Structure 1
Amino acid sequence: MSRIFISGSSTGLGLMAGELLASQGHRIVLHARNAARADDARRNLSSAEAVVIGDLETIAGARNVADQVNALGHFDAVIHNAAVGYREGHRLTSDGLPYVFAINTLAAYILTALIERPERLVYLSSGMHHHANANLDDILWKKRRWNGSTAYAESKLHDAMLAFAVARRWPDVFSNALEPGWVPTKMGGPGAPDDMDQAHLTQVWLAAGEDPKADVTGQYFYHLKRMEPNPEAQDYTLQDRLVAVCAEISGIGLPA
Protein backbone atom coordinates (compact mmCIF):
# COMPACT_ATOMS: atom_id res chain seq x y z
CA MET A 1 0.00 0.00 0.00
CA SER A 2 1.11 3.58 -0.72
CA ARG A 3 1.43 6.69 1.42
CA ILE A 4 -0.10 9.66 -0.39
CA PHE A 5 -0.32 13.40 0.26
CA ILE A 6 -3.13 15.36 -1.39
CA SER A 7 -3.05 19.16 -1.47
CA GLY A 8 -6.35 21.01 -1.20
CA SER A 9 -8.18 17.98 0.16
CA SER A 10 -10.50 19.23 2.89
CA THR A 11 -13.41 19.10 0.45
CA GLY A 12 -14.30 18.41 -3.18
CA LEU A 13 -12.29 16.19 -5.49
CA GLY A 14 -9.27 16.13 -3.18
CA LEU A 15 -11.32 14.70 -0.34
CA MET A 16 -13.10 12.28 -2.67
CA ALA A 17 -9.73 10.99 -3.89
CA GLY A 18 -8.55 10.64 -0.29
CA GLU A 19 -11.66 8.72 0.71
CA LEU A 20 -11.32 6.28 -2.19
CA LEU A 21 -7.59 5.77 -1.63
CA ALA A 22 -8.17 5.17 2.08
CA SER A 23 -10.89 2.62 1.28
CA GLN A 24 -8.29 0.80 -0.83
CA GLY A 25 -5.98 0.59 2.16
CA HIS A 26 -3.59 3.45 1.36
CA ARG A 27 -2.26 5.80 4.03
CA ILE A 28 -3.55 9.30 3.37
CA VAL A 29 -2.43 12.74 4.54
CA LEU A 30 -4.83 15.55 3.75
CA HIS A 31 -4.28 19.30 3.50
CA ALA A 32 -6.52 22.15 4.60
CA ARG A 33 -6.20 25.90 4.29
CA ASN A 34 -7.06 26.60 7.93
CA ALA A 35 -7.96 24.93 11.22
CA ALA A 36 -11.72 24.98 10.59
CA ARG A 37 -11.32 23.22 7.26
CA ALA A 38 -8.91 20.76 8.88
CA ASP A 39 -11.57 19.85 11.44
CA ASP A 40 -14.01 19.21 8.61
CA ALA A 41 -11.46 17.03 6.83
CA ARG A 42 -10.85 14.95 9.96
CA ARG A 43 -14.56 14.43 10.42
CA ASN A 44 -15.03 13.44 6.80
CA LEU A 45 -12.03 11.08 6.69
CA SER A 46 -11.29 9.96 10.23
CA SER A 47 -8.83 7.36 8.97
CA ALA A 48 -6.50 10.04 7.56
CA GLU A 49 -3.04 9.76 9.07
CA ALA A 50 -2.77 13.55 9.44
CA VAL A 51 -4.07 16.84 8.12
CA VAL A 52 -1.47 19.45 7.16
CA ILE A 53 -2.69 23.02 7.70
CA GLY A 54 -1.46 25.95 5.65
CA ASP A 55 -2.53 28.59 3.15
CA LEU A 56 -0.88 28.14 -0.24
CA GLU A 57 -1.53 31.66 -1.51
CA THR A 58 1.83 32.99 -0.25
CA ILE A 59 5.33 31.75 -0.95
CA ALA A 60 5.98 31.45 2.79
CA GLY A 61 2.73 29.53 3.24
CA ALA A 62 3.58 27.05 0.49
CA ARG A 63 7.07 26.62 2.00
CA ASN A 64 5.50 25.90 5.37
CA VAL A 65 3.18 23.27 3.94
CA ALA A 66 6.12 21.56 2.22
CA ASP A 67 8.07 21.61 5.50
CA GLN A 68 5.16 20.02 7.35
CA VAL A 69 4.83 17.31 4.71
CA ASN A 70 8.54 16.53 4.85
CA ALA A 71 8.42 16.35 8.65
CA LEU A 72 5.93 13.50 8.31
CA GLY A 73 8.40 11.42 6.31
CA HIS A 74 8.53 10.02 2.80
CA PHE A 75 5.48 9.79 0.55
CA ASP A 76 5.04 7.43 -2.37
CA ALA A 77 2.81 9.88 -4.24
CA VAL A 78 1.69 13.50 -4.17
CA ILE A 79 -1.53 14.68 -5.80
CA HIS A 80 -1.43 18.40 -6.61
CA ASN A 81 -5.13 19.12 -6.31
CA ALA A 82 -5.27 22.54 -4.60
CA ALA A 83 -6.72 25.26 -6.81
CA VAL A 84 -9.11 28.17 -7.01
CA GLY A 85 -11.62 28.51 -9.82
CA TYR A 86 -12.39 30.48 -12.94
CA ARG A 87 -14.69 33.04 -11.31
CA GLU A 88 -11.99 34.75 -9.23
CA GLY A 89 -11.59 38.49 -9.42
CA HIS A 90 -8.26 40.21 -9.79
CA ARG A 91 -6.78 40.37 -6.33
CA LEU A 92 -3.16 40.26 -5.30
CA THR A 93 -1.65 38.20 -2.51
CA SER A 94 0.64 39.74 0.11
CA ASP A 95 3.49 38.76 -2.21
CA GLY A 96 1.98 41.01 -4.89
CA LEU A 97 0.99 38.07 -7.11
CA PRO A 98 -2.37 37.37 -8.75
CA TYR A 99 -4.28 35.04 -6.45
CA VAL A 100 -5.09 32.50 -9.18
CA PHE A 101 -1.48 32.27 -10.32
CA ALA A 102 -0.17 32.06 -6.75
CA ILE A 103 -2.28 29.06 -5.80
CA ASN A 104 -2.83 27.22 -9.07
CA THR A 105 0.62 27.61 -10.62
CA LEU A 106 3.24 28.80 -8.14
CA ALA A 107 2.15 26.75 -5.14
CA ALA A 108 2.18 23.56 -7.23
CA TYR A 109 5.70 24.46 -8.35
CA ILE A 110 6.90 25.19 -4.80
CA LEU A 111 5.46 21.97 -3.39
CA THR A 112 7.03 20.04 -6.25
CA ALA A 113 10.41 21.63 -5.64
CA LEU A 114 10.44 21.29 -1.85
CA ILE A 115 8.61 18.09 -0.92
CA GLU A 116 10.95 15.11 -0.80
CA ARG A 117 10.72 13.47 -4.19
CA PRO A 118 7.99 10.80 -4.33
CA GLU A 119 7.69 8.00 -6.84
CA ARG A 120 4.53 9.48 -8.36
CA LEU A 121 3.32 13.01 -9.03
CA VAL A 122 -0.19 13.80 -10.20
CA TYR A 123 -1.27 17.29 -11.34
CA LEU A 124 -4.87 18.33 -11.86
CA SER A 125 -5.37 20.37 -15.00
CA SER A 126 -8.67 21.27 -16.66
CA GLY A 127 -10.40 20.94 -19.98
CA MET A 128 -10.17 24.72 -20.18
CA HIS A 129 -6.40 24.43 -20.67
CA HIS A 130 -6.92 23.20 -24.25
CA HIS A 131 -7.85 26.70 -25.44
CA ALA A 132 -5.31 28.65 -23.38
CA ASN A 133 -1.91 30.15 -24.10
CA ALA A 134 0.87 30.01 -21.52
CA ASN A 135 1.43 33.80 -21.74
CA LEU A 136 4.73 33.52 -19.88
CA ASP A 137 5.64 37.08 -20.86
CA ASP A 138 2.70 38.35 -18.82
CA ILE A 139 2.18 35.55 -16.31
CA LEU A 140 1.46 38.12 -13.58
CA TRP A 141 -1.18 39.99 -15.59
CA LYS A 142 0.57 43.35 -15.58
CA LYS A 143 -0.04 44.09 -19.27
CA ARG A 144 -3.49 42.63 -19.85
CA ARG A 145 -6.95 43.40 -18.54
CA TRP A 146 -7.91 40.73 -16.02
CA ASN A 147 -10.12 37.85 -17.10
CA GLY A 148 -10.73 35.22 -14.42
CA SER A 149 -11.66 32.49 -16.85
CA THR A 150 -8.55 33.05 -18.95
CA ALA A 151 -6.33 33.25 -15.85
CA TYR A 152 -7.71 29.94 -14.62
CA ALA A 153 -7.25 28.25 -18.02
CA GLU A 154 -3.66 29.51 -18.21
CA SER A 155 -2.90 28.22 -14.72
CA LYS A 156 -4.22 24.78 -15.62
CA LEU A 157 -2.03 24.80 -18.74
CA HIS A 158 0.89 25.68 -16.47
CA ASP A 159 0.09 22.66 -14.28
CA ALA A 160 0.28 20.33 -17.27
CA MET A 161 3.51 22.00 -18.39
CA LEU A 162 4.96 21.51 -14.91
CA ALA A 163 3.98 17.83 -14.88
CA PHE A 164 5.73 17.27 -18.20
CA ALA A 165 8.79 19.33 -17.24
CA VAL A 166 9.19 17.19 -14.13
CA ALA A 167 8.74 14.01 -16.18
CA ARG A 168 11.70 15.10 -18.33
CA ARG A 169 13.90 16.20 -15.43
CA TRP A 170 13.14 13.36 -13.02
CA PRO A 171 13.06 10.13 -15.05
CA ASP A 172 12.75 8.07 -11.87
CA VAL A 173 9.34 9.64 -11.13
CA PHE A 174 6.01 8.97 -12.82
CA SER A 175 4.71 12.51 -13.39
CA ASN A 176 1.39 12.99 -15.16
CA ALA A 177 -1.49 15.44 -15.56
CA LEU A 178 -5.21 14.96 -15.98
CA GLU A 179 -8.50 16.75 -16.32
CA PRO A 180 -11.33 15.58 -14.06
CA GLY A 181 -14.10 17.08 -16.16
CA TRP A 182 -16.35 20.02 -15.39
CA VAL A 183 -18.11 18.67 -12.34
CA PRO A 184 -20.49 20.23 -9.77
CA THR A 185 -18.03 20.87 -6.97
CA LYS A 186 -17.93 24.16 -5.09
CA MET A 187 -15.41 25.34 -7.71
CA GLY A 188 -17.26 23.96 -10.73
CA GLY A 189 -20.67 25.24 -9.69
CA PRO A 190 -24.03 23.43 -9.46
CA GLY A 191 -24.67 23.54 -13.19
CA ALA A 192 -21.52 21.66 -14.21
CA PRO A 193 -22.53 18.81 -16.54
CA ASP A 194 -19.84 16.11 -16.08
CA ASP A 195 -19.99 12.96 -13.95
CA MET A 196 -18.85 13.40 -10.33
CA ASP A 197 -18.49 9.64 -9.99
CA GLN A 198 -15.73 9.70 -12.62
CA ALA A 199 -13.99 12.91 -11.59
CA HIS A 200 -11.66 11.50 -8.92
CA LEU A 201 -10.88 8.09 -10.37
CA THR A 202 -7.96 8.98 -12.63
CA GLN A 203 -5.91 10.73 -9.96
CA VAL A 204 -6.50 7.80 -7.61
CA TRP A 205 -5.40 5.34 -10.29
CA LEU A 206 -2.25 7.28 -11.14
CA ALA A 207 -1.29 7.83 -7.48
CA ALA A 208 -1.98 4.34 -6.13
CA GLY A 209 0.56 2.60 -8.35
CA GLU A 210 -1.28 -0.71 -8.34
CA ASP A 211 -1.90 -1.02 -12.09
CA PRO A 212 1.11 -1.43 -14.41
CA LYS A 213 -0.79 0.63 -16.98
CA ALA A 214 -0.33 3.63 -14.65
CA ASP A 215 3.45 3.26 -14.79
CA VAL A 216 3.79 5.99 -17.39
CA THR A 217 5.16 9.51 -17.29
CA GLY A 218 4.67 12.75 -19.15
CA GLN A 219 1.13 11.82 -20.16
CA TYR A 220 -2.24 13.54 -19.99
CA PHE A 221 -5.44 11.73 -19.03
CA TYR A 222 -9.20 12.13 -18.96
CA HIS A 223 -11.36 9.51 -17.27
CA LEU A 224 -8.58 6.87 -17.18
CA LYS A 225 -7.73 7.31 -20.86
CA ARG A 226 -4.87 9.15 -22.48
CA MET A 227 -5.72 12.41 -24.17
CA GLU A 228 -3.65 14.83 -26.20
CA PRO A 229 -3.03 18.00 -24.18
CA ASN A 230 -2.68 21.53 -25.46
CA PRO A 231 0.44 21.42 -27.68
CA GLU A 232 2.01 24.22 -25.62
CA ALA A 233 2.10 21.86 -22.64
CA GLN A 234 4.51 19.60 -24.54
CA ASP A 235 6.80 22.40 -25.73
CA TYR A 236 10.15 21.88 -23.98
CA THR A 237 11.15 25.51 -24.37
CA LEU A 238 7.94 26.73 -22.76
CA GLN A 239 8.25 24.16 -19.99
CA ASP A 240 11.76 25.32 -19.16
CA ARG A 241 10.71 28.98 -19.26
CA LEU A 242 7.85 28.29 -16.87
CA VAL A 243 10.18 26.55 -14.43
CA ALA A 244 12.64 29.45 -14.68
CA VAL A 245 9.90 32.04 -14.12
CA CYS A 246 8.55 30.19 -11.07
CA ALA A 247 12.06 29.78 -9.69
CA GLU A 248 12.76 33.48 -10.10
CA ILE A 249 9.49 34.58 -8.49
CA SER A 250 9.65 32.14 -5.58
CA GLY A 251 13.40 32.10 -5.03
CA ILE A 252 13.18 28.30 -5.03
CA GLY A 253 14.95 26.20 -7.64
CA LEU A 254 13.64 22.91 -8.98
CA PRO A 255 16.21 20.24 -8.04
CA ALA A 256 17.99 18.58 -10.92
Structure 2
Amino acid sequence: MSRILITGSAEGLGRAAAETLQAEGHDVIVHARNRSRAAVLDPLAERGAAVVIGDFAERDDVLRIAEELGDEPLDAVIHNAGVWSGRAVMPVNVIAPYLLTALLTRPKRLVYLSSGSHYSGSAAALKDTDWRGRTAGSYSDSKLFITALAAAMDRLRPGVVGNAVDPGWVPTRMGGPGAPDDLEQGHRTQEWLAVSDDAEALTTGGYWYHKARRDPLESVHDQDFQDRLIEALAAETGIRITAA
Protein backbone atom coordinates (compact mmCIF):
# COMPACT_ATOMS: atom_id res chain seq x y z
CA MET A 1 0.00 0.00 0.00
CA SER A 2 1.34 3.41 -0.98
CA ARG A 3 0.73 6.78 0.67
CA ILE A 4 -0.21 9.20 -2.10
CA LEU A 5 -1.05 12.91 -2.13
CA ILE A 6 -3.32 13.98 -4.99
CA THR A 7 -3.73 17.72 -5.34
CA GLY A 8 -6.86 19.22 -6.83
CA SER A 9 -8.89 16.13 -6.02
CA ALA A 10 -12.32 17.57 -5.27
CA GLU A 11 -13.50 16.75 -8.79
CA GLY A 12 -12.42 15.80 -12.30
CA LEU A 13 -9.24 13.85 -12.95
CA GLY A 14 -7.90 14.29 -9.43
CA ARG A 15 -11.08 12.95 -7.87
CA ALA A 16 -11.14 10.00 -10.27
CA ALA A 17 -7.52 9.15 -9.45
CA ALA A 18 -8.19 9.39 -5.72
CA GLU A 19 -11.22 7.10 -5.93
CA THR A 20 -9.39 4.52 -8.02
CA LEU A 21 -6.26 4.46 -5.85
CA GLN A 22 -8.26 4.29 -2.63
CA ALA A 23 -10.34 1.43 -4.01
CA GLU A 24 -7.09 -0.40 -4.78
CA GLY A 25 -6.14 -0.15 -1.11
CA HIS A 26 -3.76 2.80 -1.16
CA ASP A 27 -3.63 5.44 1.55
CA VAL A 28 -4.69 8.63 -0.21
CA ILE A 29 -4.45 12.25 0.88
CA VAL A 30 -6.90 14.42 -0.99
CA HIS A 31 -6.88 18.17 -1.43
CA ALA A 32 -9.46 20.91 -1.96
CA ARG A 33 -9.09 24.65 -2.39
CA ASN A 34 -11.44 25.60 0.46
CA ARG A 35 -13.72 24.06 3.07
CA SER A 36 -16.80 24.35 0.90
CA ARG A 37 -15.19 22.31 -1.88
CA ALA A 38 -13.73 19.90 0.66
CA ALA A 39 -17.24 18.83 1.67
CA VAL A 40 -17.53 16.78 -1.52
CA LEU A 41 -14.57 14.71 -0.34
CA ASP A 42 -16.50 13.39 2.66
CA PRO A 43 -17.15 9.97 1.05
CA LEU A 44 -13.41 9.48 0.58
CA ALA A 45 -12.67 10.75 4.09
CA GLU A 46 -15.23 8.35 5.56
CA ARG A 47 -13.29 5.52 3.93
CA GLY A 48 -10.05 6.70 5.52
CA ALA A 49 -8.64 9.40 3.25
CA ALA A 50 -6.90 12.34 4.86
CA VAL A 51 -7.95 15.79 3.63
CA VAL A 52 -5.80 18.91 3.27
CA ILE A 53 -7.30 22.29 2.42
CA GLY A 54 -5.62 25.29 0.84
CA ASP A 55 -5.77 27.67 -2.08
CA PHE A 56 -2.76 27.01 -4.30
CA ALA A 57 -2.94 30.56 -5.60
CA GLU A 58 -1.79 31.58 -2.10
CA ARG A 59 1.80 30.65 -1.26
CA ASP A 60 1.13 30.70 2.47
CA ASP A 61 -1.51 28.01 1.98
CA VAL A 62 0.93 25.84 0.04
CA LEU A 63 3.57 26.27 2.73
CA ARG A 64 1.06 25.42 5.45
CA ILE A 65 -0.01 22.24 3.68
CA ALA A 66 3.62 21.17 3.32
CA GLU A 67 4.06 21.75 7.06
CA GLU A 68 0.84 19.89 7.92
CA LEU A 69 1.99 16.84 6.02
CA GLY A 70 5.09 16.88 8.18
CA ASP A 71 7.94 14.46 8.10
CA GLU A 72 6.00 11.27 7.36
CA PRO A 73 7.23 10.18 3.93
CA LEU A 74 4.96 10.04 0.93
CA ASP A 75 5.35 7.32 -1.65
CA ALA A 76 3.99 9.48 -4.47
CA VAL A 77 2.53 12.88 -5.26
CA ILE A 78 0.22 13.47 -8.20
CA HIS A 79 0.42 17.20 -8.91
CA ASN A 80 -3.03 17.42 -10.47
CA ALA A 81 -4.27 20.87 -9.38
CA GLY A 82 -4.39 23.38 -12.21
CA VAL A 83 -6.25 26.29 -13.73
CA TRP A 84 -6.81 27.15 -17.37
CA SER A 85 -6.76 30.94 -17.36
CA GLY A 86 -6.47 34.08 -15.27
CA ARG A 87 -4.04 35.41 -12.73
CA ALA A 88 -3.72 32.12 -10.83
CA VAL A 89 -2.18 30.22 -13.75
CA MET A 90 1.48 30.54 -12.74
CA PRO A 91 0.90 30.39 -8.96
CA VAL A 92 -1.25 27.25 -9.19
CA ASN A 93 0.26 25.44 -12.19
CA VAL A 94 3.95 26.05 -11.45
CA ILE A 95 4.74 27.72 -8.11
CA ALA A 96 2.60 25.39 -5.97
CA PRO A 97 3.98 22.12 -7.39
CA TYR A 98 7.50 23.54 -7.26
CA LEU A 99 7.13 24.43 -3.57
CA LEU A 100 5.62 21.05 -2.69
CA THR A 101 8.42 19.30 -4.57
CA ALA A 102 10.99 21.27 -2.62
CA LEU A 103 9.36 20.96 0.81
CA LEU A 104 7.61 17.61 1.14
CA THR A 105 9.58 14.78 2.68
CA ARG A 106 11.10 13.22 -0.38
CA PRO A 107 8.40 11.19 -2.21
CA LYS A 108 9.63 8.26 -4.25
CA ARG A 109 7.53 9.20 -7.28
CA LEU A 110 6.38 12.55 -8.64
CA VAL A 111 3.72 12.89 -11.32
CA TYR A 112 3.05 16.32 -12.84
CA LEU A 113 -0.01 17.09 -14.95
CA SER A 114 1.06 18.56 -18.25
CA SER A 115 -0.90 19.22 -21.44
CA GLY A 116 -0.53 19.09 -25.19
CA SER A 117 -0.74 22.87 -24.90
CA HIS A 118 2.87 22.84 -23.72
CA TYR A 119 3.88 22.53 -27.40
CA SER A 120 2.70 26.14 -27.79
CA GLY A 121 4.71 27.31 -24.79
CA SER A 122 7.82 29.44 -25.14
CA ALA A 123 11.10 28.94 -23.32
CA ALA A 124 11.87 32.59 -24.06
CA ALA A 125 8.83 33.61 -21.97
CA LEU A 126 10.65 32.53 -18.82
CA LYS A 127 12.52 35.83 -18.63
CA ASP A 128 9.38 37.94 -18.25
CA THR A 129 7.06 35.51 -16.45
CA ASP A 130 4.90 37.03 -13.72
CA TRP A 131 5.03 34.35 -11.03
CA ARG A 132 2.94 36.39 -8.59
CA GLY A 133 -0.21 36.43 -10.69
CA ARG A 134 -0.46 40.19 -10.96
CA THR A 135 -1.41 39.64 -14.60
CA ALA A 136 -3.01 36.75 -16.44
CA GLY A 137 -0.54 33.95 -17.10
CA SER A 138 -0.07 31.80 -20.18
CA TYR A 139 -1.43 28.28 -19.71
CA SER A 140 0.81 26.94 -22.48
CA ASP A 141 3.91 28.43 -20.87
CA SER A 142 2.92 27.07 -17.46
CA LYS A 143 2.63 23.56 -18.86
CA LEU A 144 5.96 23.86 -20.65
CA PHE A 145 7.58 24.91 -17.38
CA ILE A 146 6.09 22.08 -15.32
CA THR A 147 6.97 19.51 -18.00
CA ALA A 148 10.57 20.72 -17.95
CA LEU A 149 10.62 20.52 -14.15
CA ALA A 150 9.47 16.89 -14.35
CA ALA A 151 12.17 16.14 -16.89
CA ALA A 152 14.81 17.66 -14.62
CA MET A 153 13.95 15.52 -11.62
CA ASP A 154 16.54 12.84 -12.38
CA ARG A 155 19.21 15.53 -11.93
CA LEU A 156 17.52 17.37 -9.07
CA ARG A 157 16.49 14.30 -7.10
CA PRO A 158 18.56 11.24 -8.09
CA GLY A 159 16.62 8.06 -7.37
CA VAL A 160 13.23 9.77 -7.52
CA VAL A 161 10.95 8.83 -10.41
CA GLY A 162 9.50 12.00 -11.95
CA ASN A 163 7.23 12.17 -15.00
CA ALA A 164 4.77 14.46 -16.74
CA VAL A 165 1.38 13.33 -18.06
CA ASP A 166 -0.84 14.78 -20.75
CA PRO A 167 -4.28 13.47 -19.72
CA GLY A 168 -5.84 14.63 -22.98
CA TRP A 169 -8.60 17.14 -23.52
CA VAL A 170 -11.21 15.49 -21.34
CA PRO A 171 -14.73 16.54 -20.27
CA THR A 172 -13.99 17.97 -16.84
CA ARG A 173 -14.97 21.39 -15.53
CA MET A 174 -11.75 22.73 -17.05
CA GLY A 175 -12.06 20.84 -20.32
CA GLY A 176 -15.77 21.50 -20.84
CA PRO A 177 -18.56 19.06 -21.74
CA GLY A 178 -17.58 18.95 -25.42
CA ALA A 179 -14.01 17.79 -24.85
CA PRO A 180 -13.24 14.91 -27.24
CA ASP A 181 -10.91 12.69 -25.20
CA ASP A 182 -11.81 9.78 -22.91
CA LEU A 183 -12.26 10.81 -19.27
CA GLU A 184 -11.60 7.26 -18.10
CA GLN A 185 -8.28 7.13 -19.93
CA GLY A 186 -7.49 10.62 -18.68
CA HIS A 187 -6.62 9.53 -15.14
CA ARG A 188 -5.18 6.04 -15.65
CA THR A 189 -1.65 7.04 -16.62
CA GLN A 190 -0.97 9.12 -13.52
CA GLU A 191 -2.28 6.32 -11.30
CA TRP A 192 -0.04 3.83 -13.12
CA LEU A 193 3.02 6.05 -12.77
CA ALA A 194 2.30 6.59 -9.08
CA VAL A 195 2.07 2.94 -8.02
CA SER A 196 2.89 0.42 -10.74
CA ASP A 197 5.94 -1.82 -10.65
CA ASP A 198 5.93 -2.15 -14.44
CA ALA A 199 9.41 -1.44 -15.82
CA GLU A 200 8.11 1.45 -17.95
CA ALA A 201 6.35 3.08 -14.98
CA LEU A 202 9.65 3.10 -13.11
CA THR A 203 11.45 5.14 -15.76
CA THR A 204 11.91 8.85 -15.15
CA GLY A 205 11.84 12.11 -17.08
CA GLY A 206 9.09 11.04 -19.43
CA TYR A 207 6.19 12.83 -21.05
CA TRP A 208 3.24 10.41 -21.23
CA TYR A 209 -0.13 10.21 -22.94
CA HIS A 210 -2.37 7.21 -22.21
CA LYS A 211 0.58 5.10 -20.98
CA ALA A 212 2.59 5.82 -24.13
CA ARG A 213 5.77 7.85 -23.88
CA ARG A 214 5.86 10.77 -26.32
CA ASP A 215 8.41 13.36 -27.37
CA PRO A 216 7.71 16.71 -25.67
CA LEU A 217 8.73 20.09 -27.01
CA GLU A 218 12.50 20.02 -27.54
CA SER A 219 13.18 22.65 -24.89
CA VAL A 220 11.78 20.35 -22.19
CA HIS A 221 15.01 18.33 -22.28
CA ASP A 222 17.29 21.33 -22.80
CA GLN A 223 19.44 21.32 -19.67
CA ASP A 224 20.22 25.02 -19.97
CA PHE A 225 16.51 25.85 -20.04
CA GLN A 226 15.85 23.52 -17.11
CA ASP A 227 18.59 25.22 -15.11
CA ARG A 228 17.29 28.69 -15.90
CA LEU A 229 13.77 27.63 -14.91
CA ILE A 230 14.94 26.15 -11.62
CA GLU A 231 17.04 29.22 -10.83
CA ALA A 232 14.08 31.50 -11.58
CA LEU A 233 11.80 29.48 -9.30
CA ALA A 234 14.38 29.34 -6.51
CA ALA A 235 14.98 33.10 -6.75
CA GLU A 236 11.25 33.83 -6.79
CA THR A 237 10.31 31.60 -3.85
CA GLY A 238 13.49 31.71 -1.80
CA ILE A 239 13.33 27.90 -1.67
CA ARG A 240 15.56 25.56 -3.63
CA ILE A 241 15.01 21.91 -4.49
CA THR A 242 17.85 19.94 -2.96
CA ALA A 243 19.06 16.43 -3.73
CA ALA A 244 18.62 15.27 -0.13
Q: Same fold (TM over 0.5)?
A: yes
**Corresponding residue number in structure 2 for 1:175:** 162
Q: Distance between the aligned counterparts of 1:113 and 1:141, measured in 2?
A: 17
Q: Distance between the aligned counterparts of 2:16 and 2:209, measured in 1?
A: 17
User: TM-score, normalised on structure 2?
Assistant: 0.93
Contact 1:168 1:218 in 2 (8 A): no
Contact 2:83 2:92 in 1 (8 A): yes
Counterparts of 1:1-256 in structure 2 under 5 Å? 1-43=1-43, 46-70=46-70, 73-85=72-84, 88-89=85-86, 91=87, 99-134=88-123, 135-140=125-130, 151-256=138-243
Contact 1:30 1:48 in 2 (8 A): no
User: TM-score, normalised on structure 1?
Assistant: 0.89
Contact 2:76 2:109 in 1 (8 A): yes
Matched to 1:156, the amino acid is K
Shift of 1:212: 2.8
Q: CA 1:45–1:19 in structure 2 vs 1: closer, same or farther (change >3 Å)?
A: farther
Matched to 1:171, the amino acid is P
**Per the alignment, in what secondary structure is the counterpart of residue 208 of structure 2?**
strand
Shift of 1:42: 1.9
Contact 2:131 2:236 in 1 (8 A): no
Contact 1:79 1:121 in 2 (8 A): yes
Contact 2:3 2:74 in 1 (8 A): yes
**Per the alignment, in what secondary structure is the counterpart of residue 241 of structure 1?**
helix
**Per the alignment, in what secondary structure is the counterpart of residue 236 of structure 2?**
helix
Q: Distance between the aligned counterparts of 2:238 and 2:37, measured in 1?
A: 29
Q: Distance between the aligned counterparts of 1:49 and 1:153, measured in 2?
A: 33
**Corresponding residue number in structure 2 for 1:96:** none
1:113-134 C-alpha deviation (Å, 9 max, x unpaired):
0011111000000011112113
Q: Distance between the aligned counterparts of 1:130 and 1:47, measured in 2?
A: 40
Aligned-residue CA RMSD in angstroms? 1.7
% identical equivalent positions:
47
Matched to 1:177, the amino acid is A
**Structure 2: unaligned runs, 5 residues or longer:** none
Shift of 1:211: 2.3
Q: Distance between the aligned counterparts of 1:188 and 1:70, measured in 2?
A: 34
**Per the alignment, in what secondary structure is the counterpart of residue 200 of structure 1?**
helix
Aligned length: 240
1:19-39 C-alpha deviation (Å, 9 max, x unpaired):
111111111110111111111
Contact 1:29 1:48 in 2 (8 A): no
Query: Quick check: 193-202 or 210-219, which moved more?
Result: 210-219
Shift of 1:45: 5.8
Give every structure 1 segment of 4 or more consecutive aligned residues whose post-TM-superposition deviation is greater than 3 Å: none
Q: Distance between the aligned counterparts of 1:43 and 1:49, measured in 2?
A: 9
Shift of 1:63: 0.7
1:189-224 C-alpha deviation (Å, 9 max, x unpaired):
111111111000000000013323211001110000
Matched to 1:109, the amino acid is Y
Contact 2:45 2:51 in 1 (8 A): no
Matched to 1:126, the amino acid is S
**Structure 1: unaligned runs, 5 residues or longer:** 92-98
Q: Distance between the aligned counterparts of 2:136 and 2:168, measured in 1?
A: 21
Q: Distance between the aligned counterparts of 2:196 and 2:70, measured in 1?
A: 21
Shift of 1:70: 2.3
Shift of 1:147: 6.9
